[in-house]
Amino acid sequence: MAVAHTQADIDLLARLLRAEAEGEGLQGMLMVGNVGINRIRANCSDFKGLRSVRQMVFQPHAFEATTKGYFYQGARESERRLARRVIKGERLWPAKFSLWYFKPPGACPPTWYNQPHVGRFKLHCFYQPTAKECEGIYRM
């Protein structure tokens, strides 16, 4: 299921992927995009009411890159291609149903925002809600 979007949304999401996970390679950036798009689709937890890529990217306190200055880089075509893929619905484990990820200095904690750890890709740990907490994310 694709998320409604404009070219400006593609560019915005591409900038976010680059700023949040450029060091994790194409697959890592794709997974970061999965989490963002999951937040729009799921409409649960701290992400109720998000309806657009712009709302998701600029949700207060959601992404470190938008608040700490990493978000200044322009979108490149490689990140635009990734953004299009995640917007169209491509999802990879462990980000497939995840609503949270972060890069800890060591091991992944067993929970994050009360959601269980489901996997790690390179330096990022991924956390997904239970079906009881957010059943909509599993129907997509």
Domain definitions of the chain by residue range: 7-139
Distance of alpha carbon 39 from alpha carbon 56, whole angstroms: 7
Residue 5: its pLDDT value, please?
95
Residue 139: its pLDDT value, please?
75
Residue ranges of the chain whose pLDDT lies below 70:
1, 140
Distance of alpha carbon 77 from alpha carbon 90, whole angstroms: 18
Structure tokens at 91: 């999802």
Residue 132: its pLDDT value, please?
85
Residue 140: its pLDDT value, please?
65
- What would the CATH number be for the domain defined by 7-139? 1.10.10.2520
pTM for the model: 0.94
